[in-house]
Amino acid sequence: MASLISKKWNIAPAPTPDVAAELGGYSSIVARALAQRGLTTRAAAEVFLAGEAAGSTDPLLLTGVPETVERLGRALARREKIAVYGDYDVDGVTATALLVQVLTALGGDVRPYIPHREDEGYGLNHEALNTLAGEGVGMVVTVDCGIRSLAEADTARALGLDLVITDHHVPGDEIPAAFAVINPKQAGDAYPEKMLAGVGIAYKLAQALVRAGGGKGNGAAGGDGNAAIKASDVLDLVALGSVADLAPLAGENRLLVRQGLQVMNRPPDKLRREGLRAMYLSAGIKPGKLDAGTIGFVLGPRLNAAGRLESALDAYELMTTTDLYRAGQLAQQLEVQNRERQALTRETHQRARALAVTNQTDSHLLFAAHRDFRHGIVGLAASRLTEEFYRPSIVARIEDDAVRGSCRSIREFHITNALDECRDLLMKHGGHAAAAGFTVAPANLAELENRLRAIAARELAGLDLRPTVHIDSAARFAELTPALAAELARFEPCGFGNPAPVLATRGARVRGLRTMGSEGAHLRLNLIQDGVALDAIGFGLGAWAQRIDVGSVVDLAYTFEIDEWNGERRLQMKLRDLRLSE
């Protein structure tokens, strides 16, 4: 199996005449990008570009929210002990921090519980519930987990715990018998936004609780009024968790992330979260310049590093501490752990690659399991395999009593549905279309691998399995103006589910080139077409320096933006792909 994959270019068709007329107030390039996102009317385009949500955002539409608000209100009034039970990734940590922060501000006796990845694994577990009950906790609210915890819900009931499950993962055939279950993906739920992250659902519950009074105050989390806690106090957490967990940046998610980025981009002296201020310093981030990419590639990995290598409680503490000195300590600790995580990921990726590719030349699915792999790293290694080979990939750690695996997939293959077909072999599993996890008995590992390979072969046979660059519009350099860059900037925040508009230019001539970064991994070009010269940067495209030279004529797929560096503003293309012109 080759590791270097050429990409397919899919240039979107022009809008129909009716749509083009409806979007006539925008440039042709912007109109095509809007149409590709299903925004075919002027009204829909304006809602999108303004960063608004098209449907209702009333949290009471979520099944389980009204009774949960009432029950939490009683718990607050009676000073019952409440536990917020989270997960060890960024989504789970931010959701835990958010709900603890809100309940504490409303006068609650609340504590966080985040399981240890190595010792406890993902999600609810019986021992933790017994521990919480023994400490006098009367109510447990999960965030980012629990939707498939049927037996654990029964344990909670037997212990006298009122269990509320808030989760965004795909439900199984049966919903846990908890006090309440809040998940917009469950059957019959009326909430229009189905793709909220775990932290987004925690925010909706907090919003409903605060609006109802929650024991004190009269409202918040939708409009910053005079309440015990305001929306702006927690929207930074919503943005962090939503982007890091790859929640689609469309609909209400886009609105929440946009608002959260506004909070995160405040001047340093206006930032209320000491942990963010410390992370900006340790990672070299300038407030005012943060976007979804900064969260996804800089902040998210650092917060995740804690739960991958040690305890996610360090990331939780960083997001909640009010001590400037402690925040600095924790930020530096996460910086060190992130570097260790990067080294371990490279090592695990290479070992998993060797295991997965050997004797699997034509496989539709990559599978690697070993005792030396670490729980916190297997998902990252699987991601790298999928990125490298464009195949669904599974990397697992083998232990004496269980094998725990992490899965990453491609657009053409729903990995959680595949695991559902193997549920009779599995002890536990769950996830999304593109990412999932499972626990299986060692005796069933070989059969699981064989079945998943067969399912992948059935679903993917005959398909052109190459990553696709989806291009919104062709463009000439003469069309790449500051005005166009400003229009395209209105599509932000961009990321998963709302990709930045991609343009394509054919027949540009190379005037200059050089490599950048460690081992020449990146490429910088100066290009000219029709007398217009522009700069381009291609991250991860440094190998092209061996294939092109000054004078080469190339085709480009790229995003277009205004780059700011040392106080200077200039137009720049960020390359997605590169080809020699035919």
The pLDDT value given to residue 225: 43
Residue 319 CA to residue 531 CA, distance in Å, equals: 51
CATH class of the region 359-460: alpha beta
Residue 98 CA to residue 359 CA, distance in Å, equals: 47
* Residue of 58 and 4 predicted with greater confidence: 58
Query: Residues 353, 414, 431, CA angle at the centre, nearest 5°?
Result: 85
Q: CB burial class (10 A; 0-12, 13-18, 19+) of residue 42?
A: middle
Mean local confidence (pLDDT), 170-177 = 94
Q: How confident is the model at residue 118 (pLDDT cuts 50, 70, 90)?
A: confident
Q: What global pTM score does this model have?
A: 0.87
The pLDDT value given to residue 221: 44
* Residue of 423 and 224 predicted with greater confidence: 423
Which neighbouring-strand residues pair with 526? 512, 535
Does residue 222 surpass a pLDDT of 60? no
Q: How confident is the model at residue 399 (pLDDT cuts 50, 70, 90)?
A: very high
* 162-166 sheet: strands from edge to edge: 109-113, 81-85, 137-143, 162-166, 180-182
Q: How confident is the model at residue 214 (pLDDT cuts 50, 70, 90)?
A: low
The sign of the CA dihedral 271, 275, 276, 277 is: positive
Summary count for the chain: helices (H), strands (E)? 19, 18
Residue located via tokens 């209400």 = 252
Does residue 506 surpass a pLDDT of 90? yes
Does residue 455 surpass a pLDDT of 80? yes
Mean pLDDT of all residues belonging to the chain: 93
Q: How confident is the model at residue 3 (pLDDT cuts 50, 70, 90)?
A: very low
Residue 214 CA to residue 353 CA, distance in Å, equals: 52
Question: Amino acid identity of 557?
Answer: A
Does residue 2 surpass a pLDDT of 60? no
Mean local confidence (pLDDT), 267-279 = 93
pLDDT (tens digit per residue) in 294-339: 999 999 999 998 888 788 999 999 999 999 999 999 999 999 999 9
The pLDDT value given to residue 5: 65
pLDDT (tens digit per residue) in 425-436: 999 998 888 999
Residue 114, token pair as written in the block: 């985040």
Does residue 215 surpass a pLDDT of 50? no
Q: How confident is the model at residue 226 (pLDDT cuts 50, 70, 90)?
A: very low
pLDDT (tens digit per residue) in 22-81: 999 999 999 999 999 999 999 999 999 998 888 899 999 999 999 999 999 999 999 999
- Whole-number percent of the chain with pLDDT over 70: 96
* 366-370 sheet: strands from edge to edge: 366-370, 393-398, 403-408, 435-440, 426-431
Q: Which CATH number describes the domain made up of 59-228?
A: 3.90.1640.30
Domain ranges across the chain? 8-50+468-580, 59-228, 359-460
| Whole-Å CA distances, 152 to 66, 142, 288, 293, 420 | 23, 12, 44, 37, 19
Fold of 8-50+468-580: OB fold (Dihydrolipoamide Acetyltransferase, E2P) (2.40.50)
The pLDDT value given to residue 453: 96
The pLDDT value given to residue 359: 56
| Whole-Å CA distances, 76 to 107, 129, 137, 210, 368 | 7, 20, 13, 12, 48
Residue 466, token pair as written in the block: 């190459």
- Whole-number percent of the chain with pLDDT over 90: 84
The pLDDT value given to residue 309: 78
pLDDT (tens digit per residue) in 351-360: 999 999 875 6
